[in-house]
């Protein structure tokens, strides 16, 4: 494995990396940085958590740092497009961290806030512009931003852009890019429309694939705790107060669920906040900041709100509700165990959610070890009226039967101690069937 020293980055970048205590490039960095430094286009298949931001930010900063030019008003040299404000802000923070010993100007442009500050900042000049597509187009149409001087274009999380309906905006922006440029393109998945877009955008790209799904899934200590819906909150409280459970992201299926869970934790004296699409941009940022700064222990999020959030040191992800789409499980648990660090993911599964659990296991090609509760008898998982929740049959293959039933080095020792203890506390092996196991419907906070 190469070290950062061997990547021959300029001294101010090496200093910043040493400040951050980065020593070894992650696989995507090792594969992307040398080619990008030579000016090649890159097609990277990778999701957040793999170190991809530095994979594109370092070669860009290296280039700008070497040339030492003045920032031009309204005409950035580098454009990074991201699907969400949260991701744009995070990318901006990464550029600021890695570029802190360079004198470069960057501007962030995203919707949901007034445009005045962004327009003025562009007028003062920007080497690097990090933007979401809608607001960028608005400012381009108003004449506040021109892409005529652009040298490097980065498209991050292209598949998410597609999911969020940004394709028309994206095409309009791409039509304004100068023909001579370097393009770096990242996507967690490569559906046909994304491959088509990449082919249009890139010239002789190098292909980098860090197969994030299996690698991130393997690094994370996963378990499932069988618990009925009405006991989930008590179990959650017991879990987050256990030793070693420091920084937790809890996932709920609905926005309302996120509010209720956060509110109840808060009332039990556990510092928490909810983030979801109904919250204002400011409220979401504030909650993320407090979580980052360790002012709150638990962040309760819905899938959409949590997309792309990158916070170091998340010790636990707890799936309060299992996601309906199995792919979301992989994204969720990827919030812990980032960039090589280990993480723990515990999923609460009620008898109604057994089908969701099986779909997840099929997707990840392994059985999730049980850390608490009792798996409901098959009959308990059948919905009374036979109605399904309308989950699309997973179009993914991935159900490698050989992996099925094999639990990965399950060490139910200390890892799952919190879960076991919680199980004892709540008697939460509580599928409705073996009722006798429930000692006492413990106090709801
Ligand atoms: P990303 O995939 O860009 O969201 O990065 C995920 C996390 O990994 C971020 O918190 C980075 O600070 C961290 N990170 C990125 N590269 C490295 C590295 N080479 N060594 C240690 N941590 C890293």
Q: What is the pLDDT of residue 368?
A: 92
Q: How far is CA 58 from CA 97, 234, 269, in A?
A: 11, 45, 42
DSSP result, 200-239? HH-SSPEEEE--HHHHHHHHEEEEEEE--GGGHHHHHHHH
The minimum-distance atom of ligand 1 relative to the CA of 47 is 2
Q: What is the pLDDT of residue 425?
A: 39
Residue 133 belongs to what H/E stretch? helix 133-141
> In 110-172, which ranges are E strands?
128-131, 152-155
339 Cα–ligand 1 center, Å: 5
Helix axes 255-267, 232-240, angle to 10 degrees: 60
310 lines ligand 1 (CB under 6 A): yes
Q: Is the dihedral of CA 66, 67, 69, 75 positive or negative?
A: negative
Write out the residue limits of the CATH 3.40.50.300 domain(s) in the chain: 4-209, 215-421
Its pTM surpasses 0.75: no
CA distance 153 to 160: 17
Within 8 A by CB and 6+ apart from 282, the residues are none
Within 8 A by CB and 6+ apart from 315, the residues are 244, 245, 246, 247, 248, 336, 343, 344
Burial label, 339 (beta-carbon count in 10 A; 0-12, 13-18, 19+)? middle
Q: What is the pLDDT of residue 261?
A: 96
CA distance 259 to 265: 10
The answer to whether 333 and 217 have CB atoms below 8 angstroms apart is yes
339 lines ligand 1 (CB under 6 A): yes
- Adjacent-strand bridge partners of 98: none
Q: How far is CA 366 from CA 74, 137, 343, 360, 409, in A?
A: 51, 44, 17, 9, 12
Domain 215-421 - what CATH class? alpha beta
Ligand 1: residue of 17, 51, 87, 313 to mutate (most ligand atoms within 8 A of CB) is 51
Q: What is the pLDDT of residue 339?
A: 57
pLDDT in tens, the chain (445 residues): 578 888 889 999 999 999 998 888 988 999 999 999 999 999 999 877 788 999 999 999 999 999 889 999 999 999 999 998 989 999 999 999 999 999 999 999 999 899 999 999 999 999 999 999 999 999 999 999 999 999 999 999 998 888 788 999 999 999 999 999 999 999 988 888 899 999 999 999 999 988 644 445 667 889 999 999 999 999 999 999 988 888 999 999 988 999 999 999 999 999 999 988 777 777 888 888 899 888 999 999 988 777 666 677 788 999 999 998 887 888 888 788 665 567 899 999 999 999 999 998 888 878 899 988 888 775 544 433 333 333 333 333 232 233 333 233 333 333 344 444 444 333 333 333 333 333 333 322 2
- Adjacent-strand bridge partners of 226: 349
The minimum-distance atom of ligand 1 relative to the CA of 49 is 2
CA distance 97 to 181: 25
23 Cα–ligand 1 center, Å: 11
Closest CA to 40 of 142, 185, 175, 215: 185
Q: What is the pLDDT of residue 216?
A: 54
> In 366-421, which ranges are E strands?
370-372
Q: What is the pLDDT of residue 174?
A: 96
Which of helix, strand or coil describes residue 221? strand
Q: What superfamily in CATH does domain 4-209 come from?
A: P-loop containing nucleotide triphosphate hydrolases (3.40.50.300)
Q: What is the pLDDT of residue 412?
A: 30
Q: Is the dihedral of CA 47, 53, 55, 56 positive or negative?
A: positive
HSE-up of residue 321 (Cα within 13 Å, Cβ side):
19
99 Cα–ligand 1 center, Å: 15
29 Cα–ligand 1 center, Å: 10
The minimum-distance atom of ligand 1 relative to the CA of 55 is 3
22 lines ligand 1 (CB under 6 A): yes
The answer to whether 189 and 159 have CB atoms below 8 angstroms apart is yes
């Amino acid at each position: 494995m190469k070290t950062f020293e061997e990547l021959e980055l300029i001294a101010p970048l090496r200093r910043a990396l040493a400040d951050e205590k980065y020593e070894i490039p992650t696989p995507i960095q090792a594969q992307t940085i040398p080619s990008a430094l030579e000016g090649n286009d890159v097609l990277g298949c990778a999701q957040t958590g793999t170190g991809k931001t530095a994979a594109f930010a370092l070669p860009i900063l290296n280039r700008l740092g070497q040339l030492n030019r003045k920032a031009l008003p309204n005409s950035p040299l580098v454009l990074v497009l991201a699907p969400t404000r949260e991701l744009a802000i995070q990318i901006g923070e990464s550029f600021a961290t890695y570029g802190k010993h360079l004198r470069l100007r960057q501007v962030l442009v995203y919707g949901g806030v007034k445009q005045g500050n962004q327009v003025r900042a562009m007028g003062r000049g920007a080497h690097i512009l990090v933007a979401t597509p809608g607001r960028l187009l608005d400012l381009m149409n108003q004449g506040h931003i021109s892409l005529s001087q652009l040298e490097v274009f980065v498209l991050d999380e292209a598949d998410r852009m597609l999911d969020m309906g940004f394709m028309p905006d994206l095409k309009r922006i791409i039509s304004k890019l100068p023909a001579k440029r370097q393009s770096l393109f990242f996507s967690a998945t490569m559906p046909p429309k994304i491959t088509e877009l990449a082919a249009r955008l890139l010239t002789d790209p190098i292909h980098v694939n860090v197969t994030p799904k299996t690698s991130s899934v393997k690094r994370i200590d996963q378990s499932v705790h069988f618990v009925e819906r009405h006991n989930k909150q008590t179990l959650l409280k017991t879990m987050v107060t256990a030793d070693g459970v420091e920084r937790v992201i809890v996932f709920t299926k609905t926005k309302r669920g996120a509010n209720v869970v956060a509110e109840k934790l808060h009332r039990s004296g556990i510092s928490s906040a909810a983030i979801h699409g109904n919250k204002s941009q400011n409220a979401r940022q504030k909650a993320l900041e407090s979580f980052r700064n360790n002012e709150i222990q638990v962040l309760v999020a819905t899938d959409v709100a949590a997309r792309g959030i990158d916070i170091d040191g998340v010790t636990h992800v707890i799936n309060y509700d299992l996601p309906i789409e199995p792919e979301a499980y992989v994204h969720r648990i990827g919030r812990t165990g980032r960039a090589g660090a280990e993480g723990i993911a515990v999923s609460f599964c009620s008898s109604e959610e057994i089908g969701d659990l099986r779909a997840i296991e099929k997707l990840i090609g392994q059985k999730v070890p049980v850390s608490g509760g009792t798996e409901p008898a098959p009959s308990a998982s059948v919905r009374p009226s036979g109605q399904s929740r309308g989950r699309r049959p997973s179009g993914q293959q991935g159900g490698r039967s050989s992996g099925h039933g094999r639990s990965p080095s399950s060490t139910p020792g200390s890892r799952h101690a919190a879960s076991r203890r919680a199980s004892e506390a709540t008697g939460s092996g509580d599928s409705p069937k073996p009722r006798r196991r429930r000692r006492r419907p413990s106090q709801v906070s």
